[in-house]
Structures are given as structure tokens and as C-alpha cells.
Structure 1
């Protein structure tokens, strides 16, 4: 039987019920030690994988895309669409509280970077040129995500007792 950790005074849950408390120093070190060099470059150094090369670009099974570093559910396949950009694109997150937006003026462009709201890892960018109903295009690096088929347990590297896809 899996026990759900007792919330602390500093813990915060999203409307979807997920613990958004950032990893502590030891947890962060453990999570980062598990990343490949490419995952480290994208998630921690705010890199971008090459277009049309990501393993999740063509993923169409029903399920959820979670943060590769901490396991927080970020996007569902029902919001995924083919944008033609070469990266998985989504119209909205699982819960708006799961994705944070950061002003990004790097490389002579002004964009909105998206990060995991729990571990602060770089995911990609969001643009205002997506399809209805939101008009948003969350352009996300495949390497920043882990895909979980519907009905399977979500990754829980922090032992937070989060649920099923």
C-alpha cells in the first residue's frame, strides 16, 4: 500500500490535486543525477532539441505527458495537435497551475518560456498562434516529457503519491 506523504505547512496543491511543493536540495540532486546529457541540456540549461527529432512528436495514444524531471502531469493527448513546427504542441496544460510562464528575451526574440511549476525545469515555449479553443500553442521539447498511457501509474520520483494517468 502506498502512503500519501503528510502535507507540510509549505506544501501547495493544484486544483487538479497534485503537490506543487518544489523538491528540496537532496531531492533535486537525485532527480538531476537521473537525467541524460541531452535532458540536462534542455531541462536545466534551457536548451532546445532539434525539430522533427523528438520521440514524442508522433505520440497519439491516449494518456498524459509528464515532466521528465519530477513527474508532474503537464499535458493530455486530447490537447495535442500537429503544428508543423517539429515539436509536440498542445493547446492547454492539464492544470494551468502545473506550467509557469517566464518572459524570455534570449537570442534576439521575445517569447514566453514554459517551465514545470514544481521543479522549474525548462519545457519549451507558448505562443498565441494555436487553434481554438484556447488559441495557445505550447511548443514543448519531447526530451522534457515522459509519456504515460491512460490507466497506467504516473511517474512519482518524489514519492508524493500522485495518481493514475
Structure 2
């Protein structure tokens, strides 16, 4: 009888162990699913946050690029400024020559007045010529610098 009781007890213990193993296995599966779900949610949240930061950085970069567009525009204006100065200098020099010649010729036969006026016209033309020369020399120096050769070497007299 003792053997039957022991066998019955061993059978009950074996069944209990199997039930405990099955419950433990179910609990472990639920825990793994829950941890995996939480990890997935955490990973999704981290990815969303990273995407948001990346979008903010892209927006900031776009703003900086938009601001930097003014630099080429300013450089273009500065590049055209010497050209405008040279063209205006030529225009004013030619206009000054024509006007000065008319003024110097209108002396009503007075020779000394004509000589004095031609001297004034000559000095004015010399000043305008030097201004034009300096403008062209400055523009040439800028072009030499913009070509990527560093400090302008031409003209040699600088």
C-alpha cells in the first residue's frame, strides 16, 4: 500500500510539475511578448524623435542656405562696381572733352583766354585720364585675385 501511495504521490507531483512548467512557459511567453512590445514602442518613439530632430536640422540648414544666397548677390554687385566706374569714367571723359573743347574754342578772338582755357581743359583731361587709369588698374587687380591666383601681381608697378 505504501508503494501505491508513493506512486500516486509521485504521479501527482509529476502532474503538478508539468502544470507548473506549462504555466511558467506561458508566463515567460507573455513576458517576452510584453518586453518585445515595449522595446518596439520605445524604438519607434526613438526613431520618431530622431526624425523630428533631423527635420529641424534640415529646416535650419535651409534657412542658412537661403541667407547665404545674399553673399553671391553682394559679390556680383561688388564685381560689377569697378566695371560701372570704368564705363562711367569713359563716358564722363568723352563728355568732358567735348564740352571742354567747345568752351576753350569760344574765346571771341582773345588768344590768351584761349590758351588759358586749353590749359584748364588739358589739366582736367589729365586728371580724368589718371582716374580712368587707376580704375582700370584696380579692376585688373580684382580680376587677377578672382582668378584664384591670390594676391594680384599685375600690374607690376603696384
TM-score by length of 1: 0.17
Give the number of the structure whose alpha-carbon radius of gyration is greater.
2
Q: Larger strand proportion, structure 1 or 2?
A: 1
Select the structure with the greater relative contact order (CA < 8 A; seq sep ≥ 6): 1
If each structure's helix is expressed as a fraction of its own residues, which one has the higher value?
Answer: 2
